[in-house]
Amino acid sequence: MVAISKPKLQTDLYLCPACDGDGKHYIDKPDAVEGYKLARTIACPLCDGKQRFAKDSPIGQAVKAFWETLNDIRKHEYLKKVSDFEHSKEVARVALSKLSFDEIKALRDLDIISTDDPGEVLRKTFDTI
Ligand SMILES: [Zn+2]
Q: Where are the domains of the chain?
A: 10-96, 99-129
Interval between CA 24 and ligand 1 midpoint (Å)? 6
Interval between CA 12 and ligand 1 midpoint (Å): 13
CA–centroid distance, residue 73 to ligand 1 (Å)? 22
4-36 burial code (b ≥16 CB/10 A, e <16):
eeebeebeebbbbeebebebeeeeeeeeeeeee
The pLDDT tens digits of the residues spanning 37-53 come to 999 999 999 999 999 99
Model pTM above 0.85: no
Residues of the chain with pLDDT under 70: 1-2, 115-129
